[in-house]
Amino acid sequence: MKRGELALGELKSKLDGLKVYKNESYNSVVERLIKMAYDEEPLSEEEIKGIEESLEDIKAGRAYSEEEAKRMLGLEE
């Protein structure tokens, strides 16, 4: 067995834990996992750029906490 591979019993146990109902087939579980793995609406280049810019702002301290934003907007309870 290669490093990172699951033993057959361990794999079966993990698949059992992903079943929606007791008698769901492993094929159904795997199909659901495959569908979840593919994004039908991937992010556009513009969206990715916006996320990257936002992360840079956060790292540079150009962001407000939720509490700070509420205080600034006068929304404190």
CA quadruple 61, 62, 66, 69: dihedral positive or negative? positive
Run of H or E residues at 75:
none
- The structure tokens listed for 46 are 């513009």
- The token duo for 21 is 């109902």
For 21-33, write each residue's pLDDT tens digit.
999 999 999 999 9
| pLDDT the model gives residue 4 | 74
Question: Global pTM?
Answer: 0.49
What is the predicted pLDDT for the residue at 77? 65
The full set of domain ranges for the chain reads: 8-37, 43-77
pLDDT value at residue 3: 78
All residues at 6 or more sequence positions from 64 whose CB lies less than 8 Å from its CB, including other chains: 72
pLDDT of residue 40: 86
DSSP sequence for 13-47? HHHHHT-SSTT--HHHHHHHHHHHHS-SSPPPHHH
